[in-house]
Structure 1
Amino acid sequence: MSLSAQPRFRLTRWVAAADIVDVFVYVIVLNLAAQYLPAVIAETFTLSLLTAILLKAVLEVVIAVKGRVKFRLKAATGPAGKVGGALLLWFLLAASKFVVLELVALVFGDRVSLGNFWSVTGLILVLMLARAGVRRLLADDSPPIPSER
């Protein structure tokens, strides 16, 4: 039996590689923030890793909901729909920061603190910029290599 004729078994991935990289980027940003900003506290590396995973989950949900709101905003035909969509988008972006603060407080108590609304807003902005930067850095823009036959 040739190699190409052998059955291929593939384990289903639960998490994409990009998600793992995102969590690593979040851990780095979170630990740098904890080192340089007194309002940001993560008592241990394990807690910062778990916080990064929590942030990844929350931010993915926020990004998905934001995408749906933006789609509805673009689909709105009247001024009431446009204004309503814009207000909903603004509310979502502001409320998500409070959700992050409350979830971190609920899950980790006093052992992890992301500060206040403004510090978590800045932290999330830096997280998103760092994530975009790393994804751009790792993007494979090279043309495919022609196969030899």
Structure 2
Amino acid sequence: MTTEGASVRIRAVDLVDVFVYLVVLGLFTQFLPNVITESFLVSLLTAVLFKLALEVIAVLKTRILDRVRAARTPAGKTLNAALLMLLGAGSKFVILWLTDLVFGDAVQLGGFFSVTLLIVVLMLARAGIRLLVDRTRPRDGTA
């Protein structure tokens, strides 16, 4: 999603991400008994929440990586690398907390390990779909 002034512009790729997240979440609820969503609408809203949270996490990760690259001292690189690891682990807890805050008992994502697996699969599915879309997009600038 891009922001222009006070408005938010939703791109087609954002909708594709939400669809991919919805499918992955549906598969997790189907095959992992500790991942539960009460309805399709709750699953859809959870996929939107994942999209928003993962976008913020990706921005933070990019900023920290830039700080690692820009650090002039080993201590600076080490500190920023530690922040990156903290973000990696902490982001799972943030997603668990946000999901509980927004949906309460309507969504259960299991524990840390099932959420970690869920997020890894979400990101791999997103990357795979984006590779597929990039391969099928015309190279002449149309579409």
TM-score calculated relative to the size of structure 2: 0.90
Between structure 1 and structure 2, the one with the greater Rg is 1
Runs (5+) with no aligned partner, structure 1: 1-11
The superposition leaves residues 37-85 of structure 1 with CA deviations (integer Å, 9 ceiling, x where unpaired) of 0111011000000000000000000000000000000000111001101
Q: Which amino acid aligns with 1:143?
A: R
Percent identity over the alignment? 54
Aligned position for 1:109: 104
CA distance, structure 1, for counterparts of residue 133 and residue 65 of structure 2: 27
Q: Which amino acid aligns with 1:18?
A: V
CA distance, structure 1, for counterparts of residue 120 and residue 92 of structure 2: 11
Q: CA deviation at 1:118?
A: 0.7
Among candidates 60, 66, 76, match of residue 65 of structure 1: 60
Three-state SS of the structure 1 residue aligned to 2:9 is coil
Greater strand percent: which structure?
2
Q: Which amino acid aligns with 1:56?
A: K
TM-score calculated relative to the size of structure 1: 0.86
Runs (5+) with no aligned partner, structure 2: 1-6
CA distance, structure 1, for counterparts of residue 30 and residue 88 of structure 2: 26
Moved over 2 A (4+): 140-143
1:100 aligns with 2:113: no
